[in-house]
Amino acid sequence: MPTPEADVTQLLRAWSRGERDALDRLMPEVYGELHRLAHHYMAQERQGNLLQTTALINEAYLRLVNTREAHPRNRTHFYALSAQMMRRILVDHARSRHRQKRGGEEEPLPLEESCTLAVEPNTNLVVLDEALTALATFDGRKCQVVELRFFGGLSVEETAEALEISPETVHRDWQLAKVWLYREMKRK
């Protein structure tokens, strides 16, 4: 009997081949992990945020279904894509809130230079997104490492698997990217 990981990978491959019913079978298998990711993101959002965990999952699901260029290779890659979608949704939502405030200034996101990125409840995801976009212009892999570790909640090993690099490279990229992002965001 195949493991749940093998089932997810098989369903993802079937979905990539165009089998629409594979997606219907896939969602119950991955919903718990998607909920965990979304809950992790929503816990970092400001109080009074109108976006709810379930809405974030649903929006990410709709974007994934409607994105035909996304062809997840395996379970880890699927969660990485989901994390990227959730990041984009939250950044879009933050930008919308910022526009609604008619230019109200927000404080930059404080990134600590520890082993994990510390996020305060008043995180400015727009500033983080701008810094990540700047990082991606000259080092796309480091940007991907941050997306997967910070937004995706993936471990070093899972990130290495998703990017097909060594765990040591992930660790090194993670450390350098955090320092760079901290400095870049401090300037804003």
Q: Please report the pLDDT score of residue 99 as a whole number.
A: 60
Instruction: Look up residue 45 and give its DSSP letter.
Output: S
For residue 48, give the H/E element and its range: none
Q: What is the mean pLDDT of residues 39-64?
A: 75
Q: What is the DSSP string of 67-127?
A: -TT----SHHHHHHHHHHHHHHHHHHHHHHHHHHTTS---PPPP--SSSS----TT--HHH
Q: What is the mean pLDDT of residues 49-68?
A: 76
Instruction: Determine the average pLDDT of the residues in 80-88.
Output: 83
Confidence of residue 68 (pLDDT cuts 50, 70, 90): low
Residue 108 structure tokens: 């930059």
Residue 19 pLDDT > 90: no
Q: How far apart are CA 59 and CA 63, in angstroms?
A: 6
Reported as a pLDDT band with limits 50, 70 and 90, residue 85 is confident
Is the pLDDT higher at 173 or at 54?
A: 173
Least confident of 19-23, 32-36, 70-74: 70-74
Instruction: Centre a 10 Å sphere on the Cβ of residue 5 and count the other Cβ atoms it contains.
Output: 12
How far are the Cα atoms of 61, 69, 106 from residue 159, in angstroms, in the given order?
21, 21, 31
Among 20-34, 103-117, 138-152, 155-169, which is the least confidently predicted range? 103-117
Contact 158, 76 (CB under 8 A): yes
Q: Give helix then strand counts, H and E, for the chain.
A: 8, 0
DSSP helix/strand/coil, 152: coil
Does 5 score more than 80 pLDDT?
no
* Rounded CA separation 147/81 (Å): 10
* Residue pLDDT, tens place only, 157-185: 988 988 889 999 999 999 999 888 888 88
For the segment 114-129, what is each residue's pLDDT rounded down to a tens digit?
A: 334 444 444 577 888 8
Q: How far apart are CA 101 and CA 78, in angstroms?
A: 35
Q: What is the mean pLDDT of the chain?
A: 76
Q: What is the pLDDT of residues 87-114, one digit of tens each?
A: 888 888 877 766 655 444 444 434 333 3
Dist. CA 162–CA 151, nearest whole Å = 14
